[in-house]
Amino acid sequence: MGLHNIAIRSVFAFLFLLIITRLSGNRTPGQGTLFDFVLALILGDMIDDCLWAEVPVSQFVVGTGTLVVIHLLVEMGSMASPRFARIVGGGETILMRDGKLVRRTMRRERINEREAESMLRRAGVARENWGSIKSAWIEPNGQPGVILHEWAEEARAGEMEKDRQ
């Protein structure tokens, strides 16, 4: 296959993927669920088939376009129905309650204490401050979410005010 053929197919595939991903919304892979990541991998593999002419470009267009349309329909369904959202995307899972790790969640999600500590650290709470946590969650996209006790929120706000001054 000539180099110019590869270049033209590359440009076409790139532009098509750019257009359909832009049309499908502004969520980044980091904001999405695990399935958003899986879909990104699938699309990445499909572009390979197009570049090396393993499939006609028309099949690439229909294949990738159909997947993105279905994904968009699933997102719309999730927006309309919390129950559907939970089925397809999973829900948030409580990791910590009142400063204590929820062991059942850790077993289910196969997270050890070191990993839990790392997640909470990424959420801005070091181990020595676990007592300030009212609840901590694992969000559907795998990221940690933390809600502090009121007194801890007030203390944090006070520190920030002090830093500003």
Partner 1 sequence: MTAVLRLLVAMAAALLVVSLSIFVLGDRSVLASPPEAVSEGFIRELVGRRYERALPYLDEELRQRITADTLRAYRARAPWSAMELIDVRGEPGTIRGDTARASVVMIDARGRSMRTRLLLAWSKGVWEIARLDQPAAEEVQRSEQ
Q: What is the 3-state secondary structure (H, E, C) of the chain?
A: CCHHHHHHHHHHHHHHHHHHHHHCCCCCCCCCCHHHHHHHHHHHHHHHHHHCCCCCHHHHHHHHHHHHHHHHHHHHHHHHCHHHHHHHHCCCEEEEECCEECHHHHHHHCCCHHHHHHHHHHCCCCHHHHHHEEEEEECCCCCEEEEECHHHHHHHHHHHHHHHC
Nearest distance from residue 62's CB to partner 1, in Å?
7
CB of 4 vs partner 1, minimal distance in Å: 8
Minimum distance, C-beta of residue 32 to partner 1, in the bound complex (Å): 16
Task: Take residue 95 and report the two structure tokens written for it.
Answer: 């990791």
42 vs 157 by CB, closer to partner 1: 42
9 contributes a contact to partner 1 by CB under 8 A: yes
Total interface residues for partner 1 by CB under 8 A = 29
The contact mask relative to partner 1 for 110-139 (x = CB under 8 A, - = no) is ------------------------------
Q: Of the listed pieces 32-40, 66-74, 124-132, 145-153, which binds partner 1 according to CB under 8 A? A: 66-74
Binding interface with partner 1 (CB under 8 A):
1-2, 4-5, 8-9, 12, 16, 19-20, 23-25, 52-58, 61-62, 65-66, 68-69, 72-73, 76
